[in-house]
């Protein structure tokens, strides 16, 4: 996995963020098991509830194209370290606990976690069987 390239794609996606209310821009890049990368950015709405985070945008793009197996997701934001919110962690969890989550300030400065570290004792599809 080329982590620097994944972070670079997330940084590029951040430029497309639509954040006129918060002014907080986030980009994400999602790596599938077959090597494809899907990017996403946050998209705000004046009524806030329909706002969607960058991570979920990337996941929705990938899933709508038939992807279901993810290896890693890189996230960049306007703060020093931007971690996925609770809703995004749960959405990522839908596709596995071992997905690598990379939070990055730059292509060269990033931290790496498994989703299981960020969302311990989670609820997933296997709990409904």
Binding residues: 42-48, 53, 85, 88
> The tokens of 8 are what?
């670079």
Of 55, 80, 94, 126, which one is the catalytic site residue?
55
CB–CB of 101/112 below 8 Å? yes
Q: Which residues are known binding-site members for substrate?
A: 42-48
Q: Is 55 designated active site?
A: yes
Q: Which residues are known binding-site members for Zn(2+)?
A: 53, 85, 88
DSSP-assigned states of every residue in 3-31? HHHHHHHHHHHHTT-B-TTT---EEEEEE
DSSP for residue 22: T
Residues annotated as catalytic are: 55
């Amino acid at each position: 996995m080329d982590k620097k390239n994944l972070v670079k794609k997330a940084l590029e996606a951040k430029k497309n963020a639509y954040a006129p209310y918060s002014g907080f821009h986030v980009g994400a890049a999602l790596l599938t098991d077959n090597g494809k990368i899907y990017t996403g950015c946050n998209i705000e709405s004046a009524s806030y509830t329909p706002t969607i985070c960058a991570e979920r945008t990337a996941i929705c793009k990938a899933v709508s194209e038939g992807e279901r197996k993810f290896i890693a997701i890189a996230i960049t934001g306007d703060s020093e370290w931007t971690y996925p919110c609770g809703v995004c962690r749960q959405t990522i969890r839908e596709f596995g606990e071992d997905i690598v989550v990379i939070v990055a300030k730059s292509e060269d400065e990033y931290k790496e976690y498994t989703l299981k570290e960020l969302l311990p004792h989670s609820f997933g599809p296997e709990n409904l069987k």
